[in-house]
Amino acid sequence: MCTSTLEHPHAHAPTTTDGAPLSYADPAQQPRELERTIEAGDHFIGLVRAGQHLRITDLHGNQAADTLFFSADDTAERYSAMDTVREQGKVYLTTGTVLYSTRGRALLTITGDTCGRHDTLGGACSSESNTVRYDLEKRHMHSCRDNWMLAIARYPKYDLTKRDIGHNINFFMNVPVTADGGLSFEDGLSAPGKYVEMVAERDVYVLLSNCPQLNNPCNGYDPTPVAIRISDSPLS
């Protein structure tokens, strides 16, 4: 039995430098206008109300933001990579892409994109995939799946469980499909200040892991912060 009184540094939900919560424990308490910087390896969960604009900015370039969306009315309805790819007839996400749910309804539409390519085929990193792709000794390394698991444990009012973790979007990540149908993880196309902006078609929860991956070139082997902005007015 552990009798130590030492507190783990991440035992409490992270805050911004001025003491505001990085994510709000109760989505109903979240201000309509919100801007946050999410450090590499950290997570964000929040509410984007219908008609609001969500911008994610790759502050230093070559980062990957592993993101899930859920209908706030019923979190059993979530982002569906399959429905999104089928409906638009192509595999990359960019301006004009409608992000569909598992019930075939629009969750958000991408309205602005200075990066030009976002992936929804490559999936998220996990301790299991780290061991398969890289090495058994990589198992303990931080991963996006662990980030999401920590977020849903830390913020129970969003009513999410590990069963709700499914296909995701990798904003700013470059996973080209080869001529013979293969997938490859390539150096990112993104650069400092590149952003993607979308409008919410209904109330949605966004759950974002700012990828801590150190073993592939998707973030240049050097994870860096991203910024998130939720607003009633578009920037693009």
Residue 146 C-beta: closest distance to Zn ion, Å: 9
Smallest distance from Zn ion to CB 107, Å: 21
Contact (Cβ atoms closer than 8 angstroms) between residue 114 and residue 194: yes
Instruction: Considering the complex, state which of residue 169 and residue 230 has its C-beta at the smaller distance from Zn ion.
Output: 169
Judged by DSSP in three states, 118 sits in strand
CB 223, min distance to Zn ion, A: 9
Give me the least distance between CB of 50 and Zn ion, in Å please: 29
Interacting residues with Zn ion between 119 and 138 (CB under 5 A):
125
Dist. CA 31–CA 34, nearest whole Å: 6
Shorter beta-carbon distance to Zn ion: residue 85 or 125: 125
Nearer to Zn ion, 72 or 93 (CB): 93
**CB of 143 vs Zn ion, minimal distance in Å:** 6
Is residue 174 a contact point for Zn ion (CB under 5 A)? no
Distance CA(223)–CA(138), nearest Å, equals 16
CA distance 110 to 87: 14
Interface pattern 175-214 for Zn ion (x via CB under 5 A): ------------------------------------x-x-
Under rule CB under 5 A, residue 45 binds Zn ion:
no
Told to check if 169 binds Zn ion by CB under 5 A, we report no
Three-state DSSP state, 219: helix
Cβ distance 226 to 57 under 8 Å?
yes
Residue 86 makes CB contacts below 8 A (sequence gap 6+) with none
Asked if 183 and 133 count as a contact pair (C-beta separation under 8 A), the reply is no
Q: State the amino acid at position 230 in one-letter form.
A: I
By the criterion CB under 5 A, which residues form the site for Zn ion?
66, 125, 144, 211, 213
